[in-house]
């Protein structure tokens, strides 16, 4: 459940400064690398992975010590399915700036997706423990998701509750606690967490499907039917709606 950082588009015209002209000032290799990182991230957001790879690899050559270049290239390689290269660049990014909580959080997410749960959780905890991190609840909720994958529901619940201690309205932690409570046989607690989520988070196919399952477990068939009806009407093409069948 990891956060995406939207980077501003820098046009190719900016890169023209890298070539010397009579009147244009020279652009340093470090500045050019930063421009290429921004361009590469923009291409990645468009889905043009080849153009993104070209810009990001150029950025790494221009400034091998730029953490953002390695982090972006790591994200790109993971999307392309090249896990070894992804890990290499993400690891380099964290080694270049070991105190950057956002990079620690991103690397933790990568490790958990690769099944390295304990290491992933360790990186999330390091991120959350950084006094300068503006959103430690994000890293704590991510640690909870990672713990659920082990699976370790008790540890997961602890992380989600810690996230709520930081931000009582953190939507992801509330939704995860609703799902986890239902999974562990606590339907009424699940309902309470989902109601709190619904007050602060967006309506999604998943949240409606979860509501339907919670009310079914609680024995409130009328409420369960209302969730199912909303799911069919608001997200008719979703996997969750198709999963309702002909109920």
Domain ranges within the chain, ordered by starting residue: 1-17+24-97, 98-167, 168-247
Q: What is the pLDDT of residue 20?
A: 40
Given pLDDT bands bounded at 50, 70 and 90, which one contains residue 203?
very high
Taking Cα atoms as reference points, which of 227, 228, 238, 239 lies closest to residue 198?
A: 227
| Contact predicate 144/156, CB 8 Å | yes
Whether pLDDT at 83 is above 50: yes
Cβ-contact 148, 176 below 8 angstroms? yes
- Residue 60 contacts by C-beta under 8 Å, 6 or more apart in sequence? 33, 66, 69, 70, 73, 89
When pLDDT is averaged across residues 36-47 and rounded to a whole number, the result is: 95
pLDDT of 17 higher than 50: no
Q: What is the CATH number of domain 168-247?
A: 1.25.40.10
Please state, rounded to an integer, the average pLDDT across all residues of the chain.
90
Find out whether 144 and 173 touch, Cβ atoms under 8 Å.
Answer: yes
The position carrying tokens 């890293």 is 139
Given the structure tokens 């690397």, which residue do they identify? Answer: 107
Q: Residue 52: its pLDDT value, please?
A: 96
* pLDDT of residue 210 exceeding 60: yes
**What digits encode the pLDDT tens for the residues 128-159?**
999 999 999 999 999 999 999 999 999 999 99
Q: Give CA angle at 135 (134, 141), nearest 5°.
A: 160
What is this structure's pTM? 0.83
CB of 131 closer than 8 Å to CB of 144: no
Q: Is the pLDDT of residue 87 over 70?
A: yes
User: What does the pLDDT average to over 30-52?
Assistant: 95
Mean pLDDT of 161-172: 98
**168-247 shares the fold of 1-17+24-97:** yes
Predicted pLDDT at 146: 98
CB 227 within 8 Å of CB 208: yes
In this structure, what DSSP letter does residue 201 have?
S
Burial class (CB in 10 A: 0-12, 13-18, 19+), 150: middle
Higher pLDDT, 116 or 247: 116
CATH of 98-167, one of 3.90.950.20, 3.40.50.1000, 1.10.4080.10, 1.25.40.10: 1.25.40.10
- CATH dotted code for 1-17+24-97: 1.25.40.10
Model confidence at 25, pLDDT cuts 50, 70, 90, reads low
Contact 107/91 with Cβ under 8 angstroms? yes
51-82 residue pLDDT tens = 999 999 999 999 999 999 999 999 999 999 99
Looking at residues 189-215, what average pLDDT do you find?
98
Between helix 187-200 and helix 205-218 the angle, nearest 10°, is: 150
Tokens of 61: 């050559």
Q: What mean pLDDT comes out for the span 209-229?
A: 97
| Integer Cα distance of 92 and 214 in angstroms | 44
The two structure tokens encoding residue 204? 């999604």
């Amino acid at each position: 459940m990891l956060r995406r950082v939207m980077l501003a588009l820098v046009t190719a015209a900016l890169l023209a400064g890298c070539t010397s002209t009579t009147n244009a000032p020279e652009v340093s290799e470090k500045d050019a690398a930063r421009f290429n990182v921004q361009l590469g991230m923009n291409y990645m957001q468009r889905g043009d992975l080849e153009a993104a790879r070209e810009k990001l690899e150029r950025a790494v050559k221009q400034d091998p010590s730029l953490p953002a270049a390695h982090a972006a290239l790591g994200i790109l390689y993971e999307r392309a399915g090249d896990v070894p290269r992804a890990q290499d660049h993400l690891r380099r990014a964290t080694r270049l700036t070991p105190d950057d909580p956002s990079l620690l959080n991103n690397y933790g997410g990568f490790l958990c997706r690769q099944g390295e749960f304990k290491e992933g959780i360790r990186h999330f905890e390091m991120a959350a423990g950084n006094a300068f991190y503006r959103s430690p609840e994000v890293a704590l909720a991510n640690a909870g998701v990672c713990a659920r994958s082990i699976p370790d529901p008790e540890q997961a619940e602890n992380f989600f509750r810690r996230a709520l201690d930081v931000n009582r309205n953190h939507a992801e932690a509330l939704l995860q606690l609703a799902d986890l409570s239902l999974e562990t046989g606590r339907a009424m607690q699940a309902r309470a967490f989902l109601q709190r989520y619904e007050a602060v988070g967006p309506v999604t196919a998943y949240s409606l499907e979860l509501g339907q399952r919670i009310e079914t477990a609680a024995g409130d068939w009328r409420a369960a039917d209302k969730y199912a009806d909303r799911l069919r009407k608001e997200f008719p093409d979703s996997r969750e709606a198709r999963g309702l069948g002909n109920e």
